[in-house]
């Protein structure tokens, strides 16, 4: 893979006088400026027309300076902040002006230097630090270099003589003949890294980035070491005989055997090789990498990251592309990174998709925010409603034709359809799905309809959706899915069309109403409409078929606070529907707790009318009649808003004797009510229940009176003697013994009323004893309070100048005060104020 493009920058032309022995020894770069140091001691200053271009470059010579008669230029270093060019020649460091190549007279040579490096200070912008290693000595001198002066500020002793030297701030990375180590000359600490057995020309210690060093380690390993001794990247296995290396993130370029090997720092894999004859060193700048040969200088310009990533994606090396993209995120514009990231993710998803790895494919499509229409367009017969949509996904080599797959391998194609369902349902509620809601819902509609998944189809169209009606309505009619068609109309706000479609289903019996609850859906729709004529039209249709369902149209309006009909209007509508009338009146009375006398009276009359009419029906209606009588009696007992006289007149000549008794009791005619139950209804249990129900919540005198009345009625006839005895024996506590003894016939024997007398006497004795016990307890409580009062009044209370009132916190200055039960003292006036409050 091509990650760098080589371009020839400069070629040294032969002099033409015999054999040309001149060659390039070293190179320094700054912006468009190139500084060449030759074997003959010449420094040349060149400029190039562009640093970023990839075509052949025009080079212009700006200046040249001969340092001496002989001797090679060993090292060049530009210091732009001072406009200095530092030159190591003939064992000395000399300073020239970067642009004129003229010497700086104030800066004398530094003698006996074997190698040096420069550190720019982040704090001081008017000076740099020059670290120079002395010839054949284990000493490194630190110089502070300014525009017109320099001075030695420190000398650092090293364990061994340095062969290669690099520095980041106060940290020196030193390579000796047999090992690498880090030395901090501020803290005077040394950290051994690892030994080596390399020849001098293969020892490498070059700095890169912020605080990093690239070293040629043992076993031909390129080691990345930070100035704190740690490593942020795994080592790179490179070939033997490497003579130089430079980092241009995310790649490391190593020179070996006249070949530049380019490795990725991220995965440690070889990405590219470039052959260059007589190459001897590599120099990395912010924009590119320069390779120095004997007669030539080449520049390796990095291929733009966007192009590298796109190329990896085209080759389906998406994992590699993602790794590269994530690590170079800071090097890319934010928008460019975002677009590239989405593209790589989606392409990876496409590869997984065609490999039938659907779970991972779905996750990648969602993560990459893929336009759902890209997936929909891959399926045959799937609609893409948007007219302005054009597929833009990157093609992948393992792509399949799903149309052909649907013909040749239906089971596999079914898996692709299941994936489409899962993917569209998951993105539907998200922002990704809101890009094209109509396309998503229409595709799901088509999928469910064609696959016969009618449950999912009904669920889709019954909720809020964006299905395209022009496409969906004909499809539903063709498949005879009229109930679903009604749901679709309803969800789209076309309620009249929905109801008309459902009415047609019921009338034509085209689908089974019991299975799909067509009438129920009509009721639900009508209860939410605001257009009265439409509701009236179809409500009458529903009531004719099912009065119980029809009444829900009006009751559900109240439940949803969507009321367009007053109760009187509804009652008028229901005039011809007796069952619906009763149900609606029950709803008004029981659910809405109406206090309208008309509603209660009309409901009771409706009950009575239904009961009386049911007498003419068959015997199978007996259960329903009893249930209706139970409702009638319950309402008569509980309600206090009906017209009792009107209702009594209606049932006077009927068999509804219990109801008559309840109505008489409501008017206070309890004796007459009991006579109706005893003589007309002939139900002793009903009479006794009447007494209990009527006396509930009343005082004992009333209870004794009403039970005595029933006893007297029984005693009026010899046929009810047994009933009278049972009444006394079962309800002894409800009678006044003296009153009973007065009305009992003298002919009765003691044996008849023995049980009653025993229980009455037992109750009387019990009551007397309980009253005595209560009186005794009250006396004890009184004595307790008296004892507490006596104790409080006989206790000595010491009052001195330090005593203050509990209420006002002022001193007690006189002998008159009050003492609380809890022991606090207060002024009499303060206590009076508290009492009034």
pLDDT at 399 over 70: yes
pLDDT reading at 599 higher than 80: yes
Q: State the DSSP code for 811.
A: B
3-state SS, residue 291:
strand
- Segment 210-232, tens digit of pLDDT: 889 999 999 899 999 999 999 99
How much is the mean pLDDT over the chain? 87
* Cross-strand partners of 37: 26, 43
Counting other chains too, the contacts that 361-370 makes at CB distance below 8 Å and 24 or more residues apart are 361/419, 362/419, 362/422, 362/423, 362/426, 365/423, 365/427, 366/423, 366/426, 366/427, 366/430, 366/432, 368/341, 368/342, 368/343, 368/344, 369/342, 369/432, 370/342, 370/346, 370/432
- C-alpha distance from residue 301 to each of 58, 677, 785 (Å): 16, 114, 107
Range of lowest pLDDT (77-91, 264-278, 514-528, 712-726): 514-528
- Give tens-digit pLDDT for 327-365: 787 777 777 778 888 888 888 899 899 999 999 999 999
Residue 621 DSSP symbol: G
- Report how far residue 198's alpha carbon sits from residue 177's, in angstroms, rounded to the nearest whole number: 8
Q: Which two tokens stand for residue 210?
A: 């912020």
DSSP-assigned beta bridge partners for residue 387 = none
pLDDT recorded at residue 800: 83
User: Measured between alpha carbons, how far is 585 from 599 in angstroms, rounded to an integer?
Assistant: 6
Two structure tokens written together for 212: 């990093």
pLDDT tens string 139-198: 899 999 998 888 998 888 888 889 999 999 889 999 999 999 999 988 889 999 999 999
Range with the lowest mean pLDDT among 221-235, 438-452, 605-619, 621-635? 605-619
Q: Would you give the DSSP letter of residue 588?
A: I
Dist. CA 265–CA 586, nearest whole Å: 82
Q: Specify the pLDDT at position 837.
A: 47
335 three-state secondary structure: helix
Which residues lie below 8 Å from residue 209, measured CB to CB, with a gap of 6+?
247, 249
Q: How far is CA 443 from the centre of its chain?
A: 26
d(CA 563, CA 592): 13
Alpha-carbon distance of 94 to 96, in angstroms, equals: 7
Entry pTM: 0.63
Q: What is the mean pLDDT of residues 691-719?
A: 89
Asked if residues 433 and 464 have their Cβ atoms less than 8 Å apart, the reply is: no
- Cβ atoms within 10 Å of 390's Cβ, excluding its own: 8
Span 80-120, pLDDT tens digits: 989 999 999 988 999 999 999 999 988 889 998 999 999 87
pLDDT of 95: 93
Given pLDDT bands bounded at 50, 70 and 90, which one contains residue 619? very low
Q: What is the DSSP string of 667-696?
A: TT-HHHHHHIIIIIS--HHHHHHHHHHHHT
Minimum mean pLDDT range among 252-256, 587-591, 814-818: 814-818
User: Pick from 255, 252, 187, 202: which is nearest to 225 by CA?
Assistant: 252
What secondary structure does DSSP assign to 489-523, as a single string?
A: HHHTT-HHHHHHHHHHHHHHT-S-HHHHTHHHHHH
Which helix (H) or strand (E) is 478 found in, with range? helix 469-478
DSSP type of residue 58: -
Q: How far are the Cα atoms of 40, 81, 247, 259, 747 from residue 299, in angstroms, in the given order?
A: 23, 25, 14, 14, 140
**Residue-level pLDDT at 618:** 54
State mean pLDDT over 784-789: 86
Contact assessment for residue 371 and residue 435, using Cβ atoms and an 8 Å cutoff: yes
Determine the Cα–Cα distance for residues 739 and 708; give it in Å rounded to an integer: 8
Percent share of the chain, pLDDT over 90 = 41
């Amino acid at each position: 893979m091509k990650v760098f493009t080589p371009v020839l920058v400069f070629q040294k032309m032969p002099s033409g006088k015999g054999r040309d022995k001149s060659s390039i020894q070293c190179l320094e770069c700054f912006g468009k400026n190139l500084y060449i140091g030759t074997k003959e001691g010449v420094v040349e200053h060149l400029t190039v027309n562009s640093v970023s271009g990839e075509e052949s470059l025009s080079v212009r010579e700006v200046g040249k300076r001969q340092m001496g008669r002989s001797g090679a230029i060993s090292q060049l270093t530009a210091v732009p902040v001072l406009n200095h060019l530092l030159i190591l020649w003939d064992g000395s460091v000399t300073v020239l002006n970067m642009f004129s190549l003229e010497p700086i007279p104030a800066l004398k040579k530094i003698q006996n230097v074997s190698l040096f490096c420069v550190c720019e200070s982040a704090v001081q912008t008017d000076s740099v630090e020059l670290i120079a290693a002395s010839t054949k000595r284990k000493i490194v001198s630190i110089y502070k270099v300014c525009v017109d002066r320099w001075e030695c500020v420190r000398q650092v002793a090293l364990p061994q003589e340095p062969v290669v030297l690099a520095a980041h701030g106060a940290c020196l990375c030193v390579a000796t003949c047999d090992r690498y180590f880090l030395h901090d000359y501020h803290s005077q600490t040394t950290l051994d890294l690892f030994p080596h057995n390399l020849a001098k020309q293969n020892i490498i210690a070059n700095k890169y980035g912020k605080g990093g060093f690239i070293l040629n380690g043992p076993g031909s390993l390129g080691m990345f070491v930070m100035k704190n001794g740690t490593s942020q990247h795994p080592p790179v296995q490179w070939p033997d005989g490497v003579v130089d290396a430079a980092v241009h993130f995310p790649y490391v370029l190593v020179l070996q055997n006249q070949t530049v090997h380019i490795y990725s720092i991220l995965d440690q894999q070889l990405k590219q090789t470039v052959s260059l004859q007589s190459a001897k060193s590599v120099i990395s700048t912010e924009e590119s990498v320069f390779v120095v040969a004997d007669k030539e200088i080449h520049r390796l310009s990095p291929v733009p990251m966007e192009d590298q990533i796109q190329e990896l994606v085209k080759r389906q090396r998406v994992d590699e592309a993602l790794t590269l993209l994530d690590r170079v995120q800071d090097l890319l514009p934010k928008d460019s990174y975002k677009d590239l990231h989405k593209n790589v993710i989606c392409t990876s998803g496409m590869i997984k998709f065609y490999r039938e790895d659907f779970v991972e494919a779905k996750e990648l499509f969602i993560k990459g925010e893929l336009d759902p229409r890209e997936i929909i367009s891959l399926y045959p017969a799937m609609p893409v409603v948007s007219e302005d949509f054009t597929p833009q996904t990157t093609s992948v080599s393992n792509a399949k034709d799903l149309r052909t797959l649907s013909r040749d391998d239906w089971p596999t194609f079914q898996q692709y359809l299941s994936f489409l369902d899962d993917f569209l349902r998951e993105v539907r509620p998200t922002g990704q799905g809101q890009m094209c809601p109509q396309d998503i819902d229409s595709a799901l509609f088509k999928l469910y309809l064609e696959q016969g998944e009618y449950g999912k189809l009904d669920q889709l169209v019954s909720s809020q959706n964006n299905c395209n009606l022009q496409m969906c309505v004909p499809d539903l009619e063709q498949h005879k899915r009229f109930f679903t068609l009604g749901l679709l109309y309803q969800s789209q706000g076309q309620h009249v069309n929905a109801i008309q479609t459902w009415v047609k289903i019921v009338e034509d019996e085209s689908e089974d109403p019991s299975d799909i609850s067509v009438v129920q859906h009509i009721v639900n729709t009508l209860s939410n409409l605001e257009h009265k004529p439409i509701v009236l039209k179809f409500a009458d249709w529903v009531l004719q078929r099912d009065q119980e369902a029809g009444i829900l149209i009006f009751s559900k309006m109240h439940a949803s606070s969507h009321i367009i009909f007053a109760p009187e209007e509804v009652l008028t509508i229901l005039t011809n529907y007796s069952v619906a009338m009763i149900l609606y009146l029950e709803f008004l009375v029981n659910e809405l707790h109406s206090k309208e006398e008309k509603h209660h009276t009309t409901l009771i009359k409706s009950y009575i009318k239904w009961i009386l009419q049911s007498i003419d029906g068959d015997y199978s209606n007996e259960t329903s009649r009893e249930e209706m009588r139970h409702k009638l009696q319950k309402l008569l007992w509980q309600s206090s808003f009906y017209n009792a006289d009107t209702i009594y007149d209606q049932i006077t000549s009927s068999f509804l004797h219990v109801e008559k008794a309840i109505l008489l009791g409501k008017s206070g005619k309890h004796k007459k009510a009991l006579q109706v139950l005893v003589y007309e209804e002939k139900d002793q249990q009903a009479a006794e229940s009447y007494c209990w129900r009527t006396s509930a919540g009343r005082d004992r005198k009333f209870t004794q009176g009403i039970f005595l009345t029933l006893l007297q009625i029984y005693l009026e006839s010899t046929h009810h003697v047994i009933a009278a005895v049972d009444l006394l024996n079962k309800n002894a506590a409800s009678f006044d013994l003296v009153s009973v003894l007065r009305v009992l016939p003298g002919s009765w024997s003691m044996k008849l009323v023995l049980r009653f007398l025993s229980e009455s006497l037992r109750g009387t004795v019990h009551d007397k004893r309980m009253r005595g016990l209560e009186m005794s307890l009250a006396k004890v409580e009184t004595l307790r309070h008296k004892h507490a009062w006596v104790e409080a009044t006989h206790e000595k209370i010491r009052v001195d100048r330090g005593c203050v009132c509990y209420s006002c916190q002022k001193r007690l200055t006189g002998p008159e005060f009050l003492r609380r039960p809890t022991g606090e003292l207060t002024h009499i006036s303060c206590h009076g104020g508290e009492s009034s409050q």
